[in-house]
Amino acid sequence: MTKFNSSYNTYSMSDIEVKIQRLGHNIFSQCRKQTPSIFNKDWWSGKMLDLSMSNKNFKLQLFRFIDVFPSLTSNEDIRHHIQEYFNRDDLHLPATLKFGLLAMTEGITSSLALLALKKNIHHMAKLFISGQNIEEALPQLKNLWDSEISFTTDLLGEKALCEKEAENHLQQYLNLIEKLSLTSSAWKQSSQLETASWGKIPRCNISVKISSLNSQLDPLNFDESLIVLKTRLLKIFKKAQDHNCTVYLDMEHYELKDFTLALFKSLLEDKALSNFQEAGIVLQAYLKDTERDLLQLIEWGSSYQRKFYVRLVKGAYWDHETTIARLQNWPCPVFQKKEHSDANYEKLTNIILDHTNVIRPAFASHNIRSLAHAITQAHQRDLSPNSFELQMLWGMAEPIKKALCQMGYRVRDYVPIGDLVPGMAFLVRRLLENTSNESFLRQSFVDNEEASGLLRAPHFDE
Ligand SMILES: Cc1cc2nc3c(=O)[nH]c(=O)nc-3n(C[C@H](O)[C@H](O)[C@H](O)COP(=O)(O)OP(=O)(O)OC[C@H]3O[C@@H](n4cnc5c(N)ncnc54)[C@H](O)[C@@H]3O)c2cc1C
């Protein structure tokens, strides 16, 4: 078996650092004057986010309200929650907003104002969710494709609550693969999106959250959960194999991490998938374990002679993991400084790029520094621009996507499809991410911090 070590800084840092910064500035100069749609203050959502970023208490109440909103069935319910969440002195709301809230809860204007509020929340959700079903999403996907951006689609829904729901989700995924591959086969050809250094890439690409496919999923009941999920996922993977579709397993909470990795390996070791080259897994750079997990995956891939995609992300559950570890008095699995997650992202990027014999790399981030580092390190290794791809979330960071796409890189949008109710958890997570002080998008496009500061190399200091 191949042995790996962890010292991957094989190139002169100062030399390469100059190139990373130069590319970063170049990307910045192409997109700084534009505003990503989530921060657009012409829209209600942009105004609300703007206020959230300057008023911590309002942010908390707004996100709590958005979270509970889909379960409020009557206007009376909504009024009651508005009163409870927002009619508080500690929010220090501007007079115009106070007036608007009053209009929603009192007098003859109330029903109309509530209607406007519902419309605004739906509009906000639509920034992140492409459609309620595949039919609604297809025109959006085609528009993306026509603008030279590829996609991976995800059916919203986390943690199935009963087996009927899980089975239903499985059927929806099978249906999604069929419809997507059939419809997209008629779209125009694009060498930028369809050609990789290893061959042709499928147009159809989906991302799956395993917790949505088994209501009894419990990592402590490892073997039984594995049997159930493997059976369901084999159906999805085989359908994908028959319809030329890529399938990623998304990475969720830390407690599911080892299970997800084991499940991924077990699927690819199955005889039925021995020729399937289109499987992918997500790794989270905010986890201290991930370097070890990545090296083990590479070793496993080499020994089984399997190639697969790795989507490198920073991780979407930082607050959750930190809170759980504190509450349970457990060692915290995630880095506690943003710079450490960024530094680890770069370290893992280098490992991935050193193993393209096993891994097909996908760098998912809206952070220009992280992306410029990945691109420059790939060039440094003489990897062609189509031997990796850059992934971003639908509805976010449009100026960055446009700039990278024009530079000739393959950009893929992660496009969620689904109802508002299961979509709310996703929506609130995205809003939290983008309004946090640490968010690269906020620092770049709202706080207008200096590009040179944002592009500085991140370091571990412990
Ligand atoms: C295409 C795509 C697919 C994705 N799929 C997944 C997935 O399957 N699973 C998943 O978990 N996430 C997923 N994400 C979300 C991703 O993990 C990040 O949350 C998101 O991209 C923000 O990171 P950034 O690099 O874009 O921005 P940045 O602003 O550079 O980074 C923000 C990230 O830094 C980390 N962070 C913030 N504060 C701290 C702190 N104090 N200490 C340490 N770290 C901190 C968090 O991970 C936070 O999300 C996906 C993202 C994209 C673009």
For residue 326, being part of any structural domain is answered with yes
Statement: residue 315 has pLDDT above 80: yes
* Strand-strand pairing, 308-313 and 359-364: parallel
Atom of ligand 1 at shortest range from CA of 285: 47
Ligand 1 centroid distance, CA of 153 (Å): 18
State the average pLDDT over residues 300-315. Answer: 96
- Do the beta carbons of residue 197 and residue 387 sit within 8 Å? yes
Q: Are residues 256 and 154 in the same domain?
A: yes
Give the model confidence (pLDDT) of 80-138 as tens digits: 888 888 888 787 887 777 777 767 777 666 778 788 888 888 888 888 899 999 999 99
Among candidate residues 342, 344, 354, the one with its CA nearest the CA of residue 378: 354
Give the model confidence (pLDDT) of 383-404 as tens digits: 999 999 999 999 889 999 999 9
Give the binding-site residues of ligand 1, using a 6 Å CB cut-off: 250-251, 282, 284, 286, 313-318, 335-338, 340-341, 364-367, 370, 391-393, 414, 433, 438-440
Boundary-marking domain end, from 126, 145, 163: 126
For residue 447, being part of any structural domain is answered with no
Q: Are residues 94 and 217 in the same domain?
A: no
CATH number at residue 197: 3.20.20.220
- The rounded distance, in Å, linking the Cα atoms of 227 and 361 is 29
Statement: residue 10 has pLDDT above 60: no
Question: Which range of residues forms the domain containing residue 91?
Answer: 37-126
pLDDT band, very low/low/confident/very high, at 310 (cuts 50, 70, 90)? very high
Q: Are residues 64 and 180 in the same domain?
A: no
The count of structural domains within the chain is: 2
For residue 341, being part of any structural domain is answered with yes
Q: Are residues 74 and 136 in the same domain?
A: no
Q: Are residues 99 and 185 in the same domain?
A: no
For residue 175, being part of any structural domain is answered with yes
Q: Are residues 81 and 192 in the same domain?
A: no
For residue 66, being part of any structural domain is answered with yes
Across all residues in the chain, what is the average pLDDT?
Answer: 90
> Which of 153, 314, 367 to mutate for ligand 1's pocket (most ligand atoms within 8 Å of CB)?
314
For residue 439, being part of any structural domain is answered with no
Phi/psi-derived region of residue 199, left when phi > 0, alpha when psi is between -120 and 50, beta in every other case: left
Q: Are residues 18 and 80 in the same domain?
A: no
Q: Which segment of 7-11, 243-247, 320-324 scores lowest on mean pLDDT?
A: 7-11
Q: Are residues 95 and 218 in the same domain?
A: no
Q: Are residues 111 and 201 in the same domain?
A: no
* Residue at token pair 């959250």: 209
Ligand 1 centroid distance, CA of 253 (Å): 13
Q: Are residues 237 and 101 in the same domain?
A: no
Give the model confidence (pLDDT) of 45-86 as tens digits: 888 888 888 888 888 888 888 888 888 888 888 888 888 888
Three-state SS for 307?
coil
Q: Are residues 226 and 368 in the same domain?
A: yes
